[in-house]
A and B are shown apart, each in its own frame.
Chain A
Amino acid sequence: MSEGEAQYGERLAALEAAVEARTRDLKAALDQRTALLHELDHRVKNNLQLISSLMLMQARHSADPAVKLALDGMIQRLNAVATVHRRLFQTEDIDRFDLSEFVRDLVADLGGAAARPQVRFACRLDPVQVSAAKAASLALLVNELVTNALRHAFPEGRAGQVSITIVQNNAELWIEIADNGVGMGGQDCVAAHGVQGFGLTIVELLGRQLQARITREDARPGLRMRIEAPLESVTG
């Protein structure tokens, strides 16, 4: 081996060692970041649980039915957001969600918690990928509409069905919540069907955020609410 070759070999070895050391450092830094991210995720989930438990406790401590009702509504909204977080970090993909997956979660919880065995759910939930950043808004929107149907469409133990449809139609996301309950009864839908003040405000605000068209129509029987949002506003 010539002197030149030996020098070349040495330099190569030194370079390889340097690359290796650098890679090791970068990997250590990445591992640390990942651990921090998981710690943060853990904290968020725990804190959501803490808030939810506090609200449940206060709802039970309150003697005022109006306070209880308001707190129950807020607990349910918090649950909707929690549903999104529960799924976060359970899959490898952390910035995209299948909307239908978490709506399925939400419905299982809402339906069960409402304890209305005479009300059935019929779901057609196509897989639709949405961005994690929009997931909470969408969950809150669906929560508001489903809760509303459960609360107002079937008074006095009336039996019926709530249909939930999520489909991707060309460049739009369609969410449809329909019930076959008491419906509008020929009156103004808000007054008759009670997407009451605050709930309605939430639906309108979230609809605006998602650039969605919201339509309510008399489904004879019942009421149908449809949200049509441009896909880019829920995937971006």
Chain B
Amino acid sequence: MMGDKPLRVLIVEDEVLLAAELEYLVAASGAAPVGHAMTSVEAVSLADQLRPDLALVDVHLSDGPTGIDAARQMTEHCGAIVLFITANMKRLPEDFAGACGVMSKPYSEHQVRQAIAFLGECATTGRSQRPPPHGLVLSPQFAERWGVVAAA
């Protein structure tokens, strides 16, 4: 489980219903949802202001397919770990725009809970103690950074 301080999570998703459900799942996983953005501009500004540990980012936002740029800015300037949650896996650049990984839509409740627990552990300890859970694909950069064992 996570350390004393819960993981602070920003949700960047233009579908309000999906965002509400993600917020619930984040809280149910022992993390703390700290904000919700629907556009890339809002996302970067909230990330700057709130300094979340983790941002869950859809590629497609209210202002277009801007999630990738937003992710790059949030990782470079705000120190957030970004996880893409998207139906557009193929849109992602090879370097994942600095994000730690991706979860494909449609995801299940279980996958989200597992992913948040796993990322919480990695963010806290800087290492992964186990292979990433089912449904979570890590970027090569983060797999190396966290010393991830390949999934069985």
User: Which of A's residues lie within 8 Å of B, judged by CB?
Assistant: 38, 41-42, 45-46, 48-50, 52-54, 56-57, 60, 75, 79, 82, 85-86, 89-90, 105, 108-109, 112-113
Contact = CB atoms under 8 A, between A and B. Distances in A.
B87 A109 contact: no
Chain A residues touching B, majority SS: helix
B1 to A, nearest CB: 15
Contacts of B110: 109, 112-113
A45 B17 contact: no
Q: Max chain B CB contacts within 10 Å: which of A45, A75, A85?
A: A45
A108 B134 contact: yes
17 contacts: A41-B87, A42-B60, A42-B87, A46-B87, A49-B18, A49-B87, A57-B17, A86-B104, A90-B104, A105-B135, A109-B134, A109-B135, A112-B110, A112-B114, A112-B133, A113-B109, A113-B110
A79 B87 contact: no
Contacts, number: 67
A90 B102 CA distance: 13
B105 A45 contact: yes
B111 to A, nearest CB: 7
B89 A49 contact: no
A6 to B, nearest CB: 50
Given A42-B87, A49-B18, A56-B21, A109 B106 contact: no
Contacts of B18: 49-50, 53
Contact of A50 (B17, B88, B107, B134): B17
B111 A109 contact: yes
Contacts of B20: 53, 57
